[in-house]
Amino acid sequence: MKEIKLQSPAKINLSLSVLGKRDDGYHNIESVMQTVDFGDTVTIAFTETPGITLKTNIKDLPTDETNIAYKAAALMQRTYGITCGISIHLEKRIPIAAGLAGGSGNAAAVLRGINELAKLGASQDELAKLGVTLGADVPFCVYGQPALATGIGEKLKEVKGLSDCYVVLVNPGVGVSTAEIYRAIDGEEPMLQSNTPALLEALQKGDLTGAFPEMKNMMESVAIRFCPPISALLESLRQVGADHAMMSGSGATCFGVFINKPDVDGLQSVFGHQLIAVTKPIV
């Protein structure tokens, strides 16, 4: 039995602006995305038994065709005529529905893993085109490099992201509905957006203090209305010394950027089970 094990890193949004609703119901966005050195482990194997089997360490996570990683395997089978069975095991560390693209990262890992196992020779661009049919964040997760994402998130331009810093991920343990947040945004006046050129220029120079003022998430203030603990987490991150703190994606995970290494024991005492990881950006 052939087997491959891949890391599926979490994504954070260094900026996120919602530019408007499209005729197809999706929203155009502009976001600077970054992966961090923390995430899930995806193990994929080919089996003699036909079909797809998916197992995970999270009891509440679906393991049938509603799981995006399962969908990714089925898509590869259809696209490339793979007839053998596929076994997938997800070792989840990224919280579910947390604004960290955990599911999208799992799907991207499945695409890359099957491509390698079957020696298909598909390029990253080809896998990314397949991935967007599964979810808007999947193409970014296929590449895994800091990028400016536009369109619905599928149009990617490689950029320089965070470097020489630490990222602290915290989650309130309460989910938020992305659909509800988008509906709320649609019904309001346009909110303050990031100055993307200024953000990218500062990141290119490695000037984090210059980048922080332009690291904004339009969804944050709306998400706080649905999930007030987000506000408390952001304030706590600032109080423990984060040089910048913001929410990732549609939430509810928040992250703090620390230029100097934070006190991990101190963070644990403040956040307890809400502390997901102390990690670094993938550059």
Instruction: Spot the catalytic one: 2, 11, 261, 263.
Output: 11
- Known catalytic membership, residue 60: no
- Are 187 and 219 contacting, i.e. CB atoms less than 8 angstroms apart? no
With vertex at residue 94, the alpha carbon angle to CA 13 and CA 254, rounded to the nearest 5 degrees, is 40
Q: Tell which CATH classification among 1.10.10.10, 3.40.630.10, 3.60.21.10, 3.30.70.890 matches the domain 166-279.
A: 3.30.70.890
Q: Which of the pair, 2 or 207, is modelled with greater confidence?
A: 207
With vertex at residue 152, the alpha carbon angle to CA 149 and CA 158, rounded to the nearest 5 degrees, is 15
- Kindly state the tokens that stand for 188: 């309001």
Element (H, E) at 58: none
Which residues on neighbouring strands pair with residue 12, listed in sequence order? 34
Distance (Å, whole) CA 167 – CA 242 = 9
Residues 26-41 have a mean pLDDT of 96
Residues 46-66 have a mean pLDDT of 95
Domain boundaries, the chain: 3-158, 166-279
Distance (Å, whole) CA 30 – CA 27 = 10
Residues 87-98 have a mean pLDDT of 96
> Domain 3-158, what architecture?
2-Layer Sandwich (3.30)
pLDDT of residue 192: 64
C-alpha of 107 from chain center: 12
Instruction: Spot the catalytic one: 71, 92, 137, 216.
Output: 137
pLDDT reading at 109 higher than 70: yes
Percent of the chain whose predicted confidence (pLDDT) is above 90: 87
Q: For residue range 111-151, what is the model confidence (pLDDT) as tens digits?
A: 999 999 999 999 999 999 999 999 999 999 999 999 999 99
pLDDT of residue 189: 65
Distance (Å, whole) CA 244 – CA 87 = 41
pLDDT band at 25 (very low <50, low <70, confident <90, very high): confident
Q: For residue range 160-194, what is the model confidence (pLDDT) as tens digits?
A: 999 999 999 999 998 888 889 988 888 776 666 78
Residues 188-203 have a mean pLDDT of 85
Overall pTM surpassing 0.85 (yes/no):
yes
- Kindly state the tokens that stand for 158: 């490689």
pLDDT reading at 1 higher than 60: no
- Known catalytic membership, residue 11: yes
- Are 252 and 230 contacting, i.e. CB atoms less than 8 angstroms apart? yes
140 CB burial (10 A radius; 0-12, 13-18, 19+): buried
Q: Before 252, cis peptide (omega within 30)?
A: yes
Q: For residue range 207-242, what is the model confidence (pLDDT) as tens digits?
A: 999 999 999 999 999 999 999 999 999 999 999 999
